[in-house]
C-alpha cells in the first residue's frame, strides 16, 4: 500500500530590521553571551511554525575586530539571527542621527530639528548619506543569504532605503516593507529634504504595510502629491506596476501574558504589590522614555487631578516605569532631566511623611514583574502624543481579566482605532481633559468597567502578532502572483 506523506510547506522568510532581537554581551576575545528578547514580534516571526524564518539586523554592539565578528556570527546563527556590523561612526550618523533625530520625530509630528538650521542642513546631508550607506550594508547581507523563493520582509523607518537596494540587485525578489511608526500627513512628509528618495525606494517594494488605514492613506497621498503618481484604493501605480499599500494592525502574543499570570513568581509579585499599596488605588504608566510618549504631559495631568481633588491625595499612586532608550541622542537626555524635575516637584508638593504620589523608575522590569504590575493596577495611563500602535495598552488589557481595570488611551496612538470603544480616549495635550479622565476612571462603576474590558479583551485575544505576520506574508505572496499574472496577460 502506498504511503502518503504529508509534507507541510514552510515559507522561508528573511526578516530584516535595524535591531536583532538579542542583547549580546562580549565575554572574551571569541566568546559572547546572548539573551534573546522574547517580545510579541519575535514570537510572531521566529516562533511560528508556518515560517522558516531568519532575522537579519544590527546586534547593537560595536565589534571592530574580525575574531569578535566571527564568534558573534556563529553564536547568533544558533538563534537563527544574522548580524550586520555597523561601525561607531555609521551608528552615530545613521542610527542616532538620521533615524532617531530626523525621521523618528518627523514621523511623530514633532518636526525636523530646528536649533541651528544651517548646521542641521549640513549635517542632514551627511546623515542621509550614512543612512543610504547603512541600508546598502543591510542589503549586502540579505543578498548573501537570499535563496530563490524567500520572502524578504523589511521593517521600519530605519530601512526605507532597503527595498530599492534589494530590487536593484534582483528584481524578482519578493520584498515587503512594514512601518511600525505612524506615517505622517503628506504636508509633514514634504518638509523632509530627502522626501522623494525615500518614497521612491519604498515604492520599489511589492507590498507596503502600515498599522492603520490613516497611515496608509497618508503614504498614498504623499506619493500622489509629492511624486505626482497615480493612487488607487489598492496602492500606487509605479513604474508600470502596482505597489500594493494596505493596513495590517499588529497585535501581541496575548496567550503568553495570560499564561504568565498563573506562574508562581508572578503570583508572588502580585501579592507583594497588593500588600505594598493596600488601601490605595494604583495607576500605571509603562513607556520607553521617549518624547512621543507624552510622559511630562501625563504627570502634569496627574498633578492637576490631585490639585483639584484633595480627597485622592493620599489614596492614589502613579507608578511610572520609564525605560531608558537612545541615550546618546541629546533630545532624550533633556527629556530625562525634565521628567525628573517635574516628578520631584509634584512629590514635594503632594507627598506626606509616609506617602509619595508618584513612583518613577528609570529602568525596565523583567517580564514577570511587568505582568504582575499589569494585573494589579486599577488604571493604565497611555498618553502618547503620537504612537504607531502602542502595545503597552494591549498588554495591560491582556492581564486584566480579573480586575477589569480602566485603560485611558491617547487618541493619537494607533491602538485608539482598535481599543477605542473600551478605553477612555483622551487628547494628551489637554491636561484638563486627562485629569477629568483620571477622576472618571477611578470612580467608574464595575458594570461599566466590565463591559469596556470585555470589548478590548476580545480584540486583544483575537488579533495576535502571529495572525498579523501570517496575514502580511500571505498578502505579499498573493501580490507577487497577481503582478506576474497581470504582466503575462
For ligand G6P, the closer CB: 113 or 414: 414
The beta-strand segments (E) located in 233-327 are 235-238, 241-247, 281-288, 316-323
Q: 18 or 297: whose CB is closer to ligand G6P?
A: 18
Residue 189 among the catalytic residues: no
Closest contact distance (angstroms) between CB of 82 and ligand G6P is 17
Q: Minimum distance between the CB of residue 302 and ligand G6P, rounded to whole angstroms?
A: 25
Q: Which is nearer to ligand G6P, 55 or 312 (CB)?
A: 55
For the question of residue 387 being annotated catalytic, the response is yes
Closest CA to 398 of 192, 299, 253, 266: 253
Identify the active-site residue in 180, 269, 368, 459: 180
**Least separation, in Å, of the C-beta of 190 and ligand G6P?**
22
The residue among 12 and 326 lying less far from ligand G6P, judged by its C-beta, is 326
Report DSSP state, residue 405.
Answer: P
CB 407 within 8 A of CB 380: yes
Contacts for 9 with CB less than 8 Å, ≥ 6 apart: none
Cβ–Cβ under 8 Å, residues 103 and 130: no
Sheet architecture: strand order including 316-323? 358-361, 316-323, 281-288, 379-382, 406-410, 424-426
Strand partners, 287: 322
Sites of contact with ligand G6P (CB under 6 A): 18-19, 156, 180-181, 325-326
Q: Of 189, 387, 453, 459, which is the active-site residue? A: 387
20, 146, 377 from 82: Cα distances, Å: 8, 12, 39
Going by their DSSP bridges, the two strands 235-238 and 230-232 should be labelled as: antiparallel
Q: How far is the CB of 60 from ligand G6P (least distance, A)?
A: 8
Q: Which residue number places its CB atom closest to ligand G6P?
A: 180
d(CA 401, CA 256): 14
Among residues 170 and 325, whose Cβ is nearest to ligand G6P? 325
Give the list of residues 6+ apart from residue 321 with CB closer than 8 angstroms, or none: 284, 285, 286, 287, 361, 363, 364, 365, 370, 373
**Shortest distance, CB of residue 310 to ligand G6P, whole angstroms?**
39
Q: List residues with catalytic annotation.
A: 180, 387
Amino acid at each position: 500500500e502506498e504511503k502518503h506523506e504529508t509534507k507541510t510547506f514552510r515559507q522561508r522568510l528573511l526578516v530584516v530590521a535595524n535591531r536583532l532581537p538579542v542583547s549580546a554581551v562580549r565575554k572574551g576575545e571569541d566568546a559572547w553571551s546572548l539573551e534573546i528578547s522574547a517580545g510579541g514580534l519575535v514570537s510572531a516571526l521566529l516562533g511560528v511554525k508556518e515560517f522558516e524564518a531568519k532575522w537579519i539586523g544590527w546586534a547593537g554592539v560595536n565589534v571592530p575586530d574580525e575574531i569578535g565578528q566571527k564568534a558573534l556570527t556563529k553564536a547568533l546563527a544558533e538563534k537563527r539571527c544574522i548580524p550586520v556590523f555597523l561601525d561607531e561612526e555609521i551608528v552615530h550618523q545613521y542610527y542616532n542621527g538620521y533615524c532617531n533625530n530626523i525621521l523618528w520625530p518627523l514621523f511623530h509630528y514633532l518636526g525636523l530639528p530646528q536649533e541651528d538650521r544651517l548646521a542641521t542642513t549640513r549635517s542632514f546631508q551627511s546623515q542621509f548619506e550614512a543612512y543610504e550607506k547603512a541600508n546598502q550594508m543591510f542589503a549586502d547581507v540579505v543578498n548573501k543569504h537570499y535563496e530563490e523563493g524567500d520572502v524578504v520582509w523589511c521593517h521600519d523607518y530605519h530601512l526605507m532605503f532597503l527595498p530599492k537596494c534589494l530590487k536593484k540587485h534582483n528584481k524578482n525578489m519578493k520584498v515587503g516593507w512594514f512601518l511600525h511608526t505612524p506615517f505622517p500627513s503628506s504636508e509633514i512628509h514634504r518638509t523632509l529634504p530627502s522626501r522623494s528618495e525615500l518614497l521612491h525606494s519604498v515604492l520599489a517594494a511589492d507590498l507596503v504595510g502600515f498599522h492603520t488605514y490613516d497611515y496608509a492613506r497618508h503614504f498614498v497621498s504623499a506619493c500622489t502629491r509629492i511624486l505626482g503618481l497615480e493612487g488607487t484604493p489598492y496602492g500606487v501605480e509605479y513604474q508600470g506596476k502596482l505597489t500594493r499599500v494596505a493596513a495590517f494592525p499588529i497585535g501581541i502574543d496575548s496567550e503568553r501574558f495570560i499564561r504568565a499570570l498563573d506562574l508562581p513568581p508572578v503570583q508572588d509579585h502580585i501579592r507583594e504589590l497588593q500588600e505594598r499599596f493596600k488601601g490605595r488605588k494604583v495607576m500605571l504608566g509603562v513607556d520607553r522614555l521617549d518624547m512621543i510618549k507624552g510622559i511630562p504631559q501625563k504627570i502634569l495631568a496627574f498633578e492637576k487631578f490631585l490639585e483639584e481633588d484633595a480627597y485622592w491625595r493620599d489614596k492614589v499612586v502613579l507608578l511610572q516605569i520609564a525605560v531608558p532608550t537612545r541615550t546618546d541622542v541629546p533630545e532624550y537626555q533633556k527629556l530625562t532631566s525634565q521628567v525628573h524635575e517635574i516628578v520631584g516637584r509634584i512629590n514635594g508638593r503632594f507627598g506626606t511623611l509616609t506617602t509619595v504620589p508618584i513612583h518613577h523608575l528609570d529602568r525596565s522590569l523583567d517580564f514577570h514583574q511587568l505582568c504582575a504590575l499589569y494585573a494589579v493596577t486599577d488604571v493604565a495611563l497611555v498618553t502618547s502624543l503620537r504612537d504607531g500602535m502602542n502595545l503597552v495598552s494591549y498588554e495591560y488589557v491582556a492581564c486584566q481579566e480579573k480586575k477589569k481595570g480602566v485603560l485611558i488611551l491617547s487618541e493619537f496612538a494607533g491602538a485608539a482605532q482598535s481599543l477605542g470603544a473600551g478605553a477612555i480616549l483622551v487628547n494628551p495635550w489637554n491636561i484638563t481633559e486627562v485629569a477629568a479622565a483620571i477622576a472618571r476612571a477611578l470612580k467608574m462603576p464595575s458594570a461599566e468597567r466590565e463591559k469596556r474590558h470585555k470589548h478590548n479583551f476580545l480584540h486583544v485575544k483575537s488579533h495576535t502578532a502571529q495572525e498579523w505576520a501570517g496575514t502580511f506574508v500571505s498578502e505579499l505572496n498573493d501580490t507577487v502572483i497577481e503582478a506576474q499574472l497581470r504582466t503575462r496577460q
